[in-house]
Structures are given as C-alpha cells and as structure tokens.
Amino acid sequence: MNSVWALLASIALIRTTLYNYLPEKLRLYISARFEEWTRRFNTDETMVFKDYQSSKMNQLFQAANLYLGESLPTISIPRVTVEKTENVRNLTFSMEKNTEMIDVYENIPMKWKYFSDYSQGMSKHGIRWYELSFHKEYKSLVTNCYLPYILERANKIKERNRVVQLHTAAHDFWTPKPVIIQHPMTFETLAMDGNLKKELVEDLDRFMNSKEYYQQIGKVWKRGYLLYGPPGTGKSSLIAAMANHLNFDIYNSNLSAVSSDFVLQNLLLSTANRSILVIEDIDCSIKLQNRESGIEQPIKYQQQNKVTLSGLLNFFDGILSCCGEGKILVATTNYKDRIDRALLRAGRMDMHIYLTYCTFSAFKQLALRCLEISDHSLFHHIEKLLPKVKVSPAEVAGELMKTRDPKASTEGLIKHLEEKVNLIADGNSEVSPKHHSSLSQTSNCQVHKSSISLPLACNGASMDNVKSPGPKPDVSVKSKLTADGEGDNNFEKTDLVRDRSSRHNILQVIEDMEKELLSYKEAIIALQKKSCGTLNKLAGIKATI
C-alpha cells in the first residue's frame, strides 16, 4: 500500500516539475505525443454535438434531442426530464445532465452522453452538448448513414408532434404569436361528395410523397388548389380538414390589406415550409379584373390597386415561389369566372374543386356522423327533395342535430326541405315591392324587373339599359317602381312575410333579398364597361387644361 502512495507522489512531483520548469511549447508537445500514444490503445471514437455553433442553433443537436427523446420511455434510465408545452401534441422526454444511454443501429451499439454547463455561455441554458461514442471502424457508417437517419427521423417526429397554428398578416408581416387551431374538422367528418373527397385526399397524399419526383423533373415542390362555389358550401371547413390531414400550419392573407407587391413577396418568403397559404375570396380581395371580360377599370381604380395582377402571378409561380418546399396555396372564390385565366392555369391552381349545395351523398355522410345511421326508410324522400332546393351542408347538419332520435330528426329535415319547396312553388320567395321602394328612394334610380335591366338615371343622367353579365337572380319583383320610390301596388307589412309561420321563412326572405342585391352588384359592374371610357376621356381633357 505504501508503494502505491509513493508511486502517486512521484508522479505528482514529476508533473509539477515539468509544469514549472519546462517551456510551454515543450509541455504542449509532450502532452500531444502522450495523447497520441494512448490513443493507439483506444478503439472508440467520440463526436461532440454542441447546441450552438457560431451563434446558430446546431441542427444535429436538435435532431439528437428529438430522436433520443422518442426512445427514452422504452429504456431503463435513472433520471428523465418530461415536459409538455402547448405547441406540441405529445409529451417530450429528454436526458438529465451527465447521463448516458445506448442506441442500437444496424446491430451496432451507439453510446450517447448528455452534458451541460450553466456557468458558461450567454444564454440561460449555458452550454449543452451530446457526445456520441462508437467503435472507430464504424466511423464511415455513422457519418454517412446513422447521422442522416437521425435527421430524417427527427423531422418526422417534429411534424407529428406539432400542433396546427393559424398565422395572419398584420402591418405587412405575419403576426409573431400565431393562434393554435383546434378545429375538429377532418376528412372523415367532412360532408362532401364521396368521389371528390377521395380524389382530393389521394392528390394530397401523392403530393406529400413526391418530393424526390418533383426534384427529378425539375419542378418546385408546391401545389395549388382553387375552391369555388356558392357561399356557405364548406370551403373554410375543407381548408381546416386539409390542415389537420397534413398537420400543416395555415397562413391566412387578405390581399386588400397588403400594401404592395413587394410586401406580398416578403409574406411568401416568410411562410414556413410544409404549410398552407390561404387567399380567401381572391376575386374581391382586390380590384383585380378578368382581362377577358372586356371591362376596363377606370383610371382612379387602377391607381388604388395595391397588389397588381403581375405581382400576384409572380407570387404564385415566380422565382420567389421556389424558396421553400412542401408549400400548398389555396385560393377561394364564389365566382370562378371573375378570376383572370392566367391565375387558373396548371402550376398556379393545379386542382379546381367545385363545392356545391348539399347533395344526397353529402347528406348520407352527415346522417352517419350526426345520427349514426347509414340508411333509413325516409331517406328516399330526402333524395327527391334535395335537388329541388338550395341548402348548404351546414344547414342540413343543423337540422339533423336538433334531436338525436333518427326518425324525429329525419322527419324534421323533410319538413324543413318541404317548406323551402313550397316557398318556391307558391312564389313566397318573391321580395315585397315595398322593400325595393326603400332601395329606390336611397339611390334615386329607377329599378325595373330583376331579370335584370338597371339603367343609370341618377341625378338626371340617363343611359341605356345594361343587361347584367352575372347569373340570373333567384328572386323577382312583380311591380315596376317609379323614380320617386312609390310602387304601383301598395302592400302592408304583413305581405312581406305572407303565410309564414316560422322563423326560418323570414330568414329565407332575407336570403332572397341578399341575392337580389348581389344581382344589382353584377349590373353595376357591367355598367363600368360604358362608364370607364367616359371617365378616362374626362381625365385626359382635365389633364390638358
């Protein structure tokens, strides 16, 4: 025992002597030679992964953290850190300081150790790092196979654990604190034509599995979808289902709030990879006309446009759209024919999805979801009624949810649909002339039948009647109104809701009135074709004076 202590004392004395009397360069040379000599007897190699490298987060450190954390619940280890934040779906596991674990890859043991030093570094985490030790003969395998495998697995874990968030644009930037979306809509619960739903899901899955194929053919890995159809037919619900299916964040932009094409490009660049960029109501977000419609914008409207057609085309598939990967762009509109055809071509809008009113196929999906029935003796009545009325899937779902009893719920829906059919048959969907009288008084314009001819007779100026280019309205006005707003026939207030005993009938009248106003909007747009030329000429004359 004494000889051991004497040997240790001698070693300490020699070390002190060398440190005090030998020059620094000589000491370093002897130390390096000694480590080189001892390394010959060591068969292991060690790689170090620090959390930050040159002030930037080390992706390998992050990947190792996710990859090892997934294995921790299944192995025996003395201490494990467990946490859960609102930005992840599942529990997160990580190693404690100065602990180690063994991972097996291709039947080869890989020893991982985790260290941290809070006395160094500028961040609140100090310095953190992993050390990976393995037999030196497997160095090539670790570098070329094991580490890329960890990066790939970590990306999949990250995508699976993250929650879907909604980003909105404000003051030309995306909001710094996105909102977590907890929308329950999925493709399983979405009431949509079965064949169309299947086609869309297959297209999304095919796109997600085609990253290498897009690179092979030299195309940017992105996809565009146009959702169009009447209001209330489920366009927003479909977007939520797409986000939940892909686990993608949603970036929602209102083009009317974007100040310029340059800002629009910056918004595109700042969207994350594997996300859905939504432009709702693209036909009315900005004054962007279909160039094939033959309607030229007046100069004052052209000057008001913040985002141009050229800027929007570059946004869809310009050089900046190549920045990033896995991005999906979704545009919605109620009127597809108002959109310039250049925006609709493949490469910008690759798939056009028409969402119509509730069909019998969509109804059966709603019945299965709301009432847990796939068939009923009353279904054939509903199948006959649905083509006769315009009712949204949301409205049908609301009727079915009034009671959980299948028979009572189905009978209630049949009654609801029959009331709509009777309103159409009895002419009760017509709007009272008294309502149009108030419109006439406000605008001081003469309004004829809503077939629709709408002459400009405001403030004494008259023009020829201009036929509306839009769809024919669903409601009509029986009586012709005069310029002072008085109709040929006088109706009492009770005539507006004649023979209607339910609140739904009143809502139906309001819907019909909204449709009438939309038809007026179509006519006004058509009048621009005649008025814009005059406005431009006047502006030119004014500039020369």
Note the pLDDT tens digit of each residue in 5-22. 777 677 777 767 766 666
Return the ∠ at Cα 377 (arms to 371 and 381), rounded to 5°.
95
Q: Residue 85, SS3?
A: coil
- Of 450, 420, 436, 415, which is closest to residue 523 (Cα–Cα)? 450
Distance CA 5, CA 13 (A): 12
**Residues in the chain with pLDDT < 50?**
296-304, 429-501
β-bridge pairing 80-83 and 56-57: unpaired
Q: What is the pLDDT of residue 203?
A: 95
Q: 211 and 143 in one domain?
A: no
Across the chain, how many H-helices and E-strands are there? 19, 16
Which residues constitute the domain of residue 81? 43-161
Q: Determine how β-strand 222-228 pairs with β-strand 351-354.
A: parallel
Same domain assignment for residues 171 and 239: yes
* DSSP state at residue 487: B
Question: What are 453-459's contacts with CB under 8 Å, separation 24+?
Answer: 453/523, 454/520, 454/523, 454/524, 454/527, 456/527, 456/531, 457/483
Which residues are paired to 111 by β-bridges? 102, 133
Q: Domain boundary residue among 368, 399, 425?
A: 425
| Token pair belonging to 128 | 């953190």
- Say if residue 341 is in the same domain as residue 209: yes
414 and 365, same structural domain? Answer: yes
Residues 341 and 388 in one domain: no
Q: Domain for residue 488, yes or no?
A: no
Q: What is the CATH number of the domain that holds 176?
A: 3.40.50.300
Q: Which residue(s) pair with 57 in the sheet?
A: 52
At 66, the amino acid letter reads: L
Q: Can you give the pLDDT at residue 250? A: 93
Boundary of a domain, candidates 406, 425, 444:
425
Domain count, the chain: 3
Sorted by sequence, the CB contacts under 8 Å of residue 387 that are 6+ apart come out as: none
- Residue 433: helix, strand or coil by DSSP? helix
416 and 277 in one domain? no
For 224, phi then psi, to 5°, come to -125, 140
For position 18, what pLDDT does the model report?
Answer: 65
Q: Are residues 210 and 340 in the same domain?
A: yes
**Same domain, yes or no: 219 and 263:** yes
